[in-house]
Amino acid sequence: MFFKSSKINEFRLWGLLLTMIGMGLMVLGTAGIVFWGQSGKIVAAIGLVTGLVAMLGSLAIYFWAGMLSTSAVQLECPECHKLTKMLGKTDRCMFCKTILTLDPSQATITAEELEHKTTV
């Protein structure tokens, strides 16, 4: 976990970052031809290939995230009462970043306790 966000959001972020890097590399590679002419073609080739690989990687991440989100559990966040999805037994709410868990042994507070706390 690099960022304090839900797993699905993190997958999307990495997918987006890889797409940006891939596109950036392809643009830079093409710009190499413009700036250095003949010798820039090698730079362009490297840039295009690595850019393509990065974009394919991002596609794979997007695909994977899509697969994961179909198996994600949809639930109402007890903190902000928005409909969120969680992956695995522990994940963060997509909206308020509250750590949610399905494992009672890992929970610090139960739904009943939270209900009681918010109503009091």
Q: Is the distance from CB of 55 to CB of 19 less than 8 angstroms?
A: yes
Q: Which is nearer to Zn ion, 35 or 76 (CB)?
A: 76
| Number of C-beta neighbours around residue 28 at 10 A | 16
Q: Which is nearer to Zn ion, 14 or 95 (CB)?
A: 95
User: How buried is 67 (Cβ within 10 angstroms: 0-12 exposed, 13-18 middle, 19+ buried)?
Assistant: exposed
Q: Does 77 bind Zn ion (CB under 5 A)?
A: yes
User: How buried is 32 (Cβ within 10 angstroms: 0-12 exposed, 13-18 middle, 19+ buried)?
Assistant: buried
Q: Which is nearer to Zn ion, 62 or 95 (CB)?
A: 95
For Zn ion, which stretch binds (CB under 5 A), given 29-37, 61-69, 93-101, 107-115? 93-101
Q: Does 96 bind Zn ion (CB under 5 A)?
A: yes
Binding site for Zn ion (CB under 5 A): 77, 79-80, 93, 95-96, 98
